[in-house]
Amino acid sequence: MISAKRNWARSKEGRAWAQEVKRRAGYKCQKCAATKRLCAHHITDYWQAPELRGDLTNGECLCLSCHNKEHRARDRRKHVWGFAPVPG
């Protein structure tokens, strides 16, 4: 699954999605307002809903630090529940 996600992220469509997510956020992290080392993050995991991978409403702009924190928290939820619940 990681390689499929990585391939999509590097595709023309994936790069355009990431750029638009960042643009819509004003090139600021949506958690801490940082403006450097920004990532486009899928709110609902790619593996849970691959049909949402190009949906702009499923993206948020995070700095690398907040992005890593989000994934560590998501990994803890997966460990406890066996899956990461879809945000609601």
**Tens digit of pLDDT for each residue in 12-62?**
999 999 999 999 999 999 999 999 999 999 998 877 888 999 999 999 999
Between 75 and 82, the higher pLDDT residue: 75
Whole-number Cα distances in Å, 71 to 12, 29, 32, 62: 24, 15, 16, 11
pTM: predicted TM-score of the whole model, two decimal places = 0.77
Is 75 a residue whose pLDDT tops 70? yes
Cα–Cα distance for residue pair 15/65, rounded to 1 Å: 20
* pLDDT score at 86: 53
Is 85 a residue whose pLDDT tops 80? no
The residue among 36, 43, 35 whose CA lies nearest residue 17 is 43
